Amino acid sequence: MTENRLAGETSSYLRAAAHQPVHWFPWGEEAFLRAKELDRPVLLDIGASWCHWCHVIDRESYEDPEVAAIINEHFVAVKVDRDERPDVDARYQQAVGALTGQGGWPLTAFLTPDGKVFYGGTYFPPKDAFNRPSFRRVLLAVEDHFRTGKAEALRDAESLHRALAEGRGSVGLEGTMNEAMLKEGVEQLRGQFDPVNGGFGTAPKFPHPGTIGFLLARHHRTREEGLRKIVARTLTGMAKGGVHDQVGGGFHRYSTDGQWIVPHFEKMLYDNAGLLLNYVQGWQATRDPLFRATAEGVLAWADEVLSDRTRGGYYASQDADVGLEDDGDYFTWTLDELRAAVAKDEAEVLARLYDVGERGEMRHDPTRNVLYIAEEIPGVGNALGLPVETVETRAREGRRRLKAARDRRKAPAVDPTVYASWNGMMIAAALEAACAFGREDVQAFALRSLGRILDELWTKDGGMWHGTLDGTRKVRGLLEDHVYVVDALLAAHAATADPAWLRRGEEIMTFALKHFWDAERDGFLDIAPDLHEGGGLATLEIRRRPLEDSPYAGANAVAALGLQRLHALTGNDTYRLRHDEIMVAFAGEASRYGALYCGTYHLAAELWIHRPAEVVLLGPRDDPRTLALHAAARRTFAPGKTILVAEGTDPYVPAAVEPMRATKEAKAGPVAFVCQASVCSPPTADPARLEALLEGGPRGP
């Protein structure tokens, strides 16, 4: 079988299309030079290995010789892995969204030979269906329009390009980040909150980890009961829903319904990292055992499925499906499959617990059931006339047998690419979990993974590379890889008190400030103009300063959180100034998008206006008394807190620490200070007192 140009790519998504009859190009200058040479439009397909509808359009259209012949005759075809090129995806999602009002994957865009969009959409069916024209009809119409109305197509593309460039590049939105704006954000969330099922809005329903983080931080300060209810109801609804893998742990990407029952079954590292942190902090704030069990389940799934146990590092994602004919069949069950997998008395319990019947929830196969908690354990016991302890035992053993039976099925493929940004997210969340739960094994693997990222993807002159697969590094010059790795390094410093992690964090943040900072408008650009390999296309020259949590926490908000912690740990005023500039620069945009879509920025704003705790521990790092104080600080939930361990041999500590060293308590033995907004508590040598100081914090509306 003849292979196209994708055969030599490292991306598993691109390699999977190497056998297709379409003459695909990978993203790069060669494709656009070819389009200019032939004077043809470019067909751009952006997808991912985990994307169900990407596989569908591949099978229905790109593997169809007749469709491929149309493409090969009239277009230059370019296929992009969204995960490998988030910079390309972000710009073309924005452009197609501006044209059609929607985006997503697969993204199908038609470009001029210089890369500007003049038409686009997402999935196009092979025949007219779903109120969408057939892909074949779209291809022929676009080709005809470009050939007979070329001037109009070029004019429309240029007009859209200019609008996008101006909207992102030079026009600012006025706004003031203050307590009133935070209150407005909270009120908006109250209006969007689903009090029955948890979460925000209706269907489809997505997790919003940044928003939950903001509400947790706000509740920690104000103790407002309404905020606790929003967080607890949302975390409970997701944990009990089908969006949570009740058998194997971890979360699917989102729910197609408003009740969290029927998900899109792909599992992303970044979603699970954000939700892991939510459930860890949710448990710390409420001590609800469901939240800890859910977090431990995420850790177990990541360890089993997405961890490179040999070299360290976390893989990118797990696909939704095994083949094109199923839709989450690996994760769902018929009643007969359930009964065959477990003992009879266990099946009786599980069928009621998870609402497994002859008719399930899956449209493509109505006999298949998504497992979700439909009835609580006591209710199952009452219905079956069984003690709660018996129901719990049968449910636990039944889940174990279900897991064993599912493990015998062919599992959906895993994308083994190790991305710097996504690993930074997961490492930071795993270290938080390790500190909260006392999981030394989790901490050891997270630190090992961080070491691999630094060894394989960081270079002093070129910065962070985006990803690695089989030793091949791909794509550099992306902001997200730098700020998320800084976040992980600061988490490693908090977990270990080793100043080497802090020094590496400073090194990478200094690099980011040098290469990504937008001196004209403040804030960070998503790509470094002097490092990024954009191929000279105008679309990639559009200046983007990422703020929204889409599909994960906005990079400028993450950078702001990192800069605040770096200033607290080092006293370097450059970090404080840049942090303040970010918060001011994005206030208007964040207000427009609101706390649902800019949750991480709202978290950063909460911690900017109401300064987080700064813990200073004075004493030898290996002294058992220092270690006890450090452990207490690590495991206690205090949003945005920093932990600095300083001993007499340290070459430098922030100036604010020197007066603490001079106290008689510090001279007598290891002690801890807790400071907020330049006001410090009296020193304490008691770990329990330190925990109380962090759990208490200032109170107020």
Burial of 229 (0-12, 13-18, 19+ CB in 10 A): middle
Q: Give me the pLDDT at residue 30, please.
A: 93
Q: Where are the beta strands (DSSP E) in 82-177?
A: 107-111, 117-121
Residues 278 and 236: their CA atoms lie apart, in Å, by 11
Q: Which of 169, 188, 212 is the last residue of a domain?
A: 169
Based on the fold, state whether residues 497 and 572 are members of the same structural domain: yes
698: pLDDT strictly greater than 50: no
Q: What are phi and psi of 480, to 5 degrees?
A: -60, -35
Residues 52 and 105: their CA atoms lie apart, in Å, by 9
Q: Give me the pLDDT at residue 700, please.
A: 37
Question: Which of 408, 305, 398 minimizes the C-alpha distance to 354?
Answer: 398
Q: Where are the beta strands (DSSP E) in 429-533?
A: 458-459, 463-469, 472-476
The token pair that represents 76 in the structure block: 């230059």
Mean pLDDT to the nearest integer, 581-602: 95
- Given strand 117-121, what is the order of strands in its sheet? 25-26, 76-81, 42-47, 107-111, 117-121
CA-to-CA separations, 446 to 157, 302, 425, 489, 626, in angstroms, rounded: 46, 11, 11, 11, 23
Please report which confidence band the pLDDT of residue 171 belongs to, taking 50, 70 and 90 as the band edges.
Answer: very low
Q: Give me the pLDDT at residue 1, please.
A: 56
Based on the fold, state whether residues 82 and 133 are members of the same structural domain: yes
Based on the fold, state whether residues 198 and 303 are members of the same structural domain: yes
Q: Do residues 626 and 619 touch, judged by C-beta distance below 8 A?
A: yes
Q: What is the CATH number of the domain that holds 37?
A: 3.40.30.10
Residues 68 and 261: their CA atoms lie apart, in Å, by 38
Mean pLDDT to the nearest integer, 202-213: 96
Please check whether residue 10 lies inside any domain of the structure: yes
The token pair that represents 160 in the structure block: 């859209």
Q: What is the CATH number of the domain that holds 337?
A: 1.10.10
Q: Do residues 506 and 567 touch, judged by C-beta distance below 8 A?
A: no
Q: Give me the pLDDT at residue 699, please.
A: 39
Q: Give me the pLDDT at residue 173, please.
A: 59
List, in order, residues 6 or more apart from 383 with CB less than 8 Å away. Answer: 352, 375
Q: What is the CATH number of the domain that holds 249?
A: 1.50.10.10
Residues 528 and 464: their CA atoms lie apart, in Å, by 11
Burial of 263 (0-12, 13-18, 19+ CB in 10 A): buried
Please report which confidence band the pLDDT of residue 174 belongs to, taking 50, 70 and 90 as the band edges.
Answer: low
List, in order, residues 6 or more apart from 421 with CB less than 8 Å away. Answer: 270, 466, 478, 480, 481, 484, 485
Q: Give me the pLDDT at residue 129, please.
A: 75
442: pLDDT strictly greater than 80: yes
Based on the fold, state whether residues 283 and 368 are members of the same structural domain: no
Please report how many Cα atoms fall inside a 13 Å half-sphere around the Cα of residue 640, on the Cβ side. 37
Q: What is the CATH number of the domain that holds 625?
A: 3.40.30
Q: Is 564 left (phi over 0), alpha (psi -120 to 50) or beta?
A: alpha
Based on the fold, state whether residues 476 and 382 are members of the same structural domain: no
Q: Which helix (H) or strand (E) holds 179?
A: helix 179-192
Burial of 689 (0-12, 13-18, 19+ CB in 10 A): middle
Mean pLDDT to the nearest integer, 198-210: 96
Q: Give me the pLDDT at residue 403, please.
A: 98
Based on the fold, state whether residues 120 and 222 are members of the same structural domain: no
Q: Give me the pLDDT at residue 535, please.
A: 55
CA-to-CA separations, 654 to 490, 651, 662, 674, in angstroms, rounded: 16, 11, 14, 15
The residues that bridge with 525 in the sheet, in sequence order, are none
Based on the fold, state whether residues 478 and 600 are members of the same structural domain: yes
The residues that bridge with 46 in the sheet, in sequence order, are 80, 107
CA-to-CA separations, 29 to 78, 94, 134, 611, in angstroms, rounded: 11, 21, 30, 47
Task: Name residue 25's amino acid.
Answer: F
Domain count, the chain: 4
Please check whether residue 701 lies inside any domain of the structure: no
Based on the fold, state whether residues 316 and 201 are members of the same structural domain: yes
Q: Where are the beta strands (DSSP E) in 14-99?
A: 25-26, 42-47, 76-81
Determine which of 53-67, 421-435, 576-590, 638-652 has the lowest per-residue pLDDT on average.
638-652
Based on the fold, state whether residues 54 and 145 are members of the same structural domain: yes
Based on the fold, state whether residues 437 and 495 are members of the same structural domain: yes
Q: Which of 115, 141, 169 is the last residue of a domain?
A: 169
The 10s digit of each residue's pLDDT in 53-111 is 999 999 999 999 999 999 999 999 999 999 999 999 999 999 999 988 888 999 999 99
Please check whether residue 599 lies inside any domain of the structure: yes
The DSSP annotation for 652-673 comes to ---GGGHHHHTSHHHHHS-EEE
Question: Which of 462, 278, 293, 482 minimizes the C-alpha distance to 373?
Answer: 293
Q: Give me the pLDDT at residue 681, please.
A: 93
Q: Give me the pLDDT at residue 169, please.
A: 38
Q: What are phi and psi of 174, to 5 degrees?
A: -70, 140
Instruction: Please give the residue range of the domain that contains residue 622.
Output: 614-696
Q: Do residues 467 and 474 touch, judged by C-beta distance below 8 A?
A: yes
Based on the fold, state whether residues 545 and 443 are members of the same structural domain: yes
Task: Name residue 330's amino acid.
Answer: Y
Q: What is the chain's mean pLDDT, rounded?
A: 93
Residues 163 and 618: their CA atoms lie apart, in Å, by 55
Cis peptide before 683 (omega within 30 of 0): no
Please report which confidence band the pLDDT of residue 168 belongs to, taking 50, 70 and 90 as the band edges.
Answer: very low
The 10s digit of each residue's pLDDT in 508-519 is 999 999 999 999
Q: Give me the pLDDT at residue 162, please.
A: 85
The token pair that represents 498 in the structure block: 């080793």
Q: What are phi and psi of 100, to 5 degrees?
A: -115, -15
Helix residue ranges, H only, 306-358 = 335-341, 344-353
**The total number of residues written for the chain in this structure:** 701
The residue that leads in pLDDT, 537 or 589, is 589
Q: Do residues 583 and 523 touch, judged by C-beta distance below 8 A?
A: no
Q: Which of 393, 411, 429 is the last residue of a domain?
A: 411
Based on the fold, state whether residues 70 and 207 are members of the same structural domain: no
CA-to-CA separations, 355 to 165, 373, 662, in angstroms, rounded: 51, 7, 64
